[in-house]
Chain A
Amino acid sequence: MAFRNLRRRPLRTGILVAALSLMVAALVFALSFVIRVNSSIKLTSDRLGADLLIVPTGARGGAEDILVENRATSFFMNKSFVDRIKKIKGIDKVSAQTYLVTLTGLCCSVPSSMVVAFNQETDFIVTPWLKEKLGRKLQKGEAVVGSESAYNINLGMVEMEAKLFGSVFSMVGVLDKTGSGLDTAVFISDENIEEIIKNSDADIKPDQISVIFAKLKKGADPYTVMSEIENNIIELDVVMRKDIGKSLLTTLGDISKIFYLTMVLSTVLSLFLVWAIFTAIANERAREVGIMRALGAKERHVVILFLFEVLVLGAIGSLVGIIAGTALTLMMAQSFSILRNLPVDLTPFTRTVIALAGLLFGTGICVLGALSPVQRLKKLEPLLVIKQE
């Protein structure tokens, strides 16, 4: 009966389904966006293995670009800062990395990529992954690639040689996925830096590094240590693990506000539309309901009949919205640079949860909007509505 009632006025049913679809599509897109960005930042932070990230003043954004958004960029500071950091109270271990960006055709035989040079004696960021995958240290002239690096993806193999900054490197392995921006990088030992400087025009000096990762002693307060470093060494910026991606989160926060506002407006609009349409439906069918009541229908029969109609509408609108929202998310993932570069994609489980949230929300709004007209209808005195012509 509910299906037949909905088919009575196809245009009206279509408008309501379209409005609900738009609302649910907006919700699915907004949730997918926010969850994906938050997950990427959290994963990067969790897997970093360091409590503090120390970079040259002003390079904080660049470091986050590399770690969270996979953007290739380079910045440098003097290596002597490593020793100064070691002396700060609360610091347990430090390790430095140097970031270089390859340029296709000029220095290198490979597509544009991030090259990370690390010290194998002190490193605690890459080494655990390297041990697991390669089972030994990297030799001079050897490199391993991140799971999603241009080498791995474009060439499909690693047992090959490639020219990096004028030097030939053997690609000896692929690291497991870390979920961070380093998945797209190439890793070499810092013993190679000297030769790189000699053989290429790379804009780096022998005593330079890009970033210092620091692990704190047990019980040390990251905020206190950070303040200590920044107060004593003004040439450096410090990012706490929990703050990685904060600038991205601030941007995301602004985008999210727009999403939330759009959501609120489309929810109010949908609610009003459902209410208006069901008020019209209730007025239109009051006489039929009166006849059913006269034939013995209880109030709950009336409610069930309309509720089923509302649920069918809500479910159809929500399902269309979920499909549209998911399609929009996938399309936008290619167009939005903020999404394109994120290391983490949504899992099927998260997508299912988002879809269920969309279904519940869309159907819930439909039920909520129809509640008042249906309540009014079930309470009408049958004779009064039956006599309406």
Chain B
Amino acid sequence: MPQLIVENITKTYLVDNAPLDAVRSVSLRIDKGDFISIVGHSGSGKTTLLSMIGGITRPSSGKVLFDGEDIFALASDRVSEYRCEQIGFMFQFASLLPILTVKENLLLPTVFRPRATGQEAAAKAEELLRLVGLTEKINVYPAQLSGGQQRRVAIARAFMNDPALVLADEPTGDLDEETEGDMMRFFKSMNEAKGVTFIMVTHNTDLARQTKRHLRMIQGALQVV
């Protein structure tokens, strides 16, 4: 059975009292360990689609089934648990909390559903920071980091709770070419070694070509490239 089934989902917003479909009747089946890239113009509905898969916005119609369970049929707390335990989010903008240090930002998801001891979580945060090359920044605040460094911290944070599915929204947008390559290798290693499923939205066609399946969104609809 596919890990993720997206069944005919639509998201409609009211813009100036007129309905606007950000996502239109999208269906998708993704197996565990898949690595999918979605390309498309700005405003084509990529972020909205990722958000519905991740349970942070509710579709106007349709279903999202993860491991056979309709996530929008769950109670609010269970949806939060789904986001915390199964999903690793990488947002397309800086998403670190400014009052927390780098280490505390990484530990944030573990606070909401603590599965490991504080020491284990701290060790994991340090290991992930090492993997993204920011060991020496562990105790600094986001404001003391460059945009690229903040992005790498957010990437590390997405793996803190050992997610089954990573939703990456232009994860390398602020990174230089070399770091972008490093991060892509990191993603592939997590995908291949740990079987983490990836859905990555990107404008970079070179990056998209490195994934197992490529999709394109045009005006809210999904097409196979």
Contact = CB atoms under 8 A, between A and B. Distances in A.
- Are chains A and B native binding partners rather than an unrelated pairing? yes
B77 interface: yes
B99 A293 contact: no
B210 to A, nearest CB: 26
Contacts of B85: 296
B95 A291 contact: yes
Given A1-B99, A301-B112, A386-B56, A294 B89 contact: yes
A309 to B, nearest CB: 12
Contacts of A301: 111-112
A296 B51 contact: no
A4 interface: yes
B95 A297 contact: no
Interface in A294-335: 294-301
Given A1-B100, A288-B97, A386-B91, A296 B80 contact: yes
A381 B57 contact: yes
Contact of A294 (B83, B98, B161): B83
B171 interface: no
A288 B97 CA distance: 6
Given A298-B77, A301-B112, A383 B161 contact: no
A299 B83 contact: no
A292 interface: yes
B99 A383 contact: no
Contacts, number: 70
Interface in B28-51: 47-48, 51
Interface residues of A, number: 24
Contact of A293 (B58, B80, B91, B100): B80
A4 B99 contact: yes
Given A288-B97, A383-B48, A294 B108 contact: no
Contacts of A288: 97-98
A5 interface: yes
A291 B97 contact: yes
A292 B108 contact: yes
Nearest to B161: A296
Interface string A1-33: 100110010000000000000000000000000
B112 A298 contact: yes
Contact of B112 (A1, A295, A382, A387): A295
Nearest to B82: A296
Contacts of A296: 80-81, 83-85, 109, 112-113, 161
